[in-house]
């Protein structure tokens, strides 16, 4: 019954949903709880995959929420996986083909969607204790059946394991460092009744054992930073004001002292300055100035490129300079679009990790299935320039996932081999 009802609703409300919720959705929020279900967790230990790790593709939907110019740029290097209804596949193909997109790097995943926010309803990725690359799903925090089904459709298309954790969430409000830490705004707790809290002011919020246990069991997250959203907007997504750039680097928006959100944003910065990274080091915090609430933190890291939303503003160049300083080994690419302060590039694209890479364990640099002294020797040779790593070897040797191979990666690998 609900499938039929959602199909009718998705047609009626069209592909362009409003900034918030439709009146029908506001009246039917109870359906979110009815969509929830739980599978057993993946075999442990589980490691969540960070955005800045190697990616083989991106997930978008048709009708597009981004320009074909941006799609063409991404398809130069990775596969564009496009969710599309059966009756729209030809239109999607023609739109991209006519725009000069490399169609050899496009795959269609058949299935209806309700909106273009693939970041919010798309799959979360993990490596399980058996070394399998898997999707661990959640219940989307909108009563949109088609969107909520997208992760399962992706798992079928890629033929990878699918798990589901029984909690409500959204991808724009989740970022992980890939080493057991994650961060979210307060709705990670307040939208789950089991937390029994309406707290949207604390930095950080008091722990919610129900959600925290799910994050640990299903995603391998043992440090979960849940804080009040400083933007205090309707959406309350962390990607509207912050971003993990690497396991050591954090980007946070800044505003002028007269801005209504100044104190709350600075309190967030103070909080992260009082915490440490997963490796126990202080965060390197970068600030990007957003005086008119520009969505500069809502960027997409895609391998050695960073796609940054710009607004044709006088502050665009300064924002791009911040990325260049923080990520010197990446190409920083600006893109315009129908961006808003709470809805931009990152919201409409979801990365798909490199499946070939994750068939090997991190540190298995020579891909022989064993992590030992031979991997250390090979990593040293890469750092010294004696040998050139393949793309897979580069990812496996980059132990701290910062995009660089250096002595820090060798030290981490040595510690792994000797069991420290």
Q: Which residues are catalytic?
A: 347
- CA 288 from chain centre, in angstroms, equals 19
Distance, first Cα to last Cα, the chain: 54
Which residue from 227, 241, 228 is spatially nearest to 172, judged by alpha carbons? 241
Distance (Å) of CA 9 to CA 5, 14, 64, 119:
6, 8, 19, 22
Residue 17, both tokens: 């949903």
| Residues 249, 242: Cα–Cα separation, whole Å | 11
Q: 3-class SS at 322?
A: helix
Beta strands in 230-365 (DSSP E): 242-244, 249-254, 284-289, 300-302, 305-309, 331-335, 350-353
Residue 300, both tokens: 């997409």
Residue 148, both tokens: 């909520």
Which residue from 1, 243, 272, 10 is spatially nearest to 121, judged by alpha carbons? 10
**Cα–Cα–Cα angle for 393, 398, 402, nearest 5°?**
140
| Residues 288, 254: Cα–Cα separation, whole Å | 6
How many residues comprise the chain? 420
Asked if 312 and 256 touch (Cβ cutoff 8 Å), the reply is no
> What is the maximum alpha-carbon separation in the chain?
64
Beta strands in 95-238 (DSSP E): 106-110, 124-127, 133-140, 162-169, 175-176, 181-185, 223-227
Burial class (CB within 10 angstroms; exposed 0-12, middle 13-18, buried 19+) of 77: middle
Beta strands in 42-161 (DSSP E): 47-48, 55-61, 79-84, 106-110, 124-127, 133-140
Q: How many CA atoms lie within 13 A of 38 on its CB side?
A: 10
CA dihedral over 276, 279, 281, 287, signed as positive or negative: negative
Q: Residue 71 carries which DSSP code? A: H
| Residues 389, 405: Cα–Cα separation, whole Å | 10
């Amino acid at each position: 019954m609900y499938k039929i009802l959602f199909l009718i609703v998705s047609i009626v409300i069209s592909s362009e949903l409003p900034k918030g919720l439709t009146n029908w959705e506001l009246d039917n929020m109870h359906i979110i709880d009815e969509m929830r279900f739980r599978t057993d967790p993946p075999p442990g230990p589980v490691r969540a995959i960070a955005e800045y790790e190697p990616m083989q593709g991106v997930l978008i939907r048709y009708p597009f929420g981004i320009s074909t110019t941006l799609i063409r740029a991404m398809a130069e290097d990775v596969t564009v996986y496009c969710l599309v209804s059966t009756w729209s596949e030809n239109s999607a193909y023609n739109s991209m083909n006519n725009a000069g997109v490399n169609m050899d790097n496009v795959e269609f995943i058949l299935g209806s969607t309700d909106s273009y926010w693939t970041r919010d309803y798309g799959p979360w990725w993990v490596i399980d204790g058996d070394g399998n690359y898997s999707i661990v799903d959640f219940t989307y925090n909108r009563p949109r059946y088609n969107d909520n089904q997208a992760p399962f459709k992706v798992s079928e298309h890629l033929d990878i394991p699918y798990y589901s954790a029984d909690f409500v969430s959204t991808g724009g409000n989740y970022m992980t460092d890939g080493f057991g830490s994650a961060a979210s705004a307060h709705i990670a707790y307040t939208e789950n009744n089991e937390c029994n809290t309406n707290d949207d002011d604390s930095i950080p919020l008091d722990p919610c054992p129900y959600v925290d246990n799910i994050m640990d069991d299903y995603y391998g997250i043992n440090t979960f930073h849940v804080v009040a959203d400083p933007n205090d907007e309707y959406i309350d997504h962390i990607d509207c004001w912050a971003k993990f750039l690497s396991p050591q680097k954090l980007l946070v928006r800044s505003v002028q002292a007269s801005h209504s959100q100044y104190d709350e944003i600075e309190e967030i910065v103070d909080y992260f300055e009082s915490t440490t990274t997963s490796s126990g080091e202080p965060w390197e915090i970068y600030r990007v100035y957003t005086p008119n609430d520009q969505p500069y933190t809502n960027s997409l890291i895609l391998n050695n490129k960073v796609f940054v939303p710009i607004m044709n503003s006088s502050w665009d160049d300064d924002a791009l300079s911040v990325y260049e300083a923080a990520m010197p080994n990446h190409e920083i690419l600006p893109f315009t679009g129908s961006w808003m302060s709470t809805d931009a590039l990152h919201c409409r694209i979801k990365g798909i990790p490199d499946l070939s890479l994750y068939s090997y364990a991190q540190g298995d640099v020579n891909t022989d299935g064993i992590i030992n002294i031979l991997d250390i020797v090979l990593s040293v040779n890469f750092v010294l320039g004696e040998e050139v790593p393949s793309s897979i070897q580069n990812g496996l040797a980059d132990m701290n996932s910062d995009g660089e191979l250096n002595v820090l990666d060798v030290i981490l690998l040595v510690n792994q081999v000797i069991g420290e």
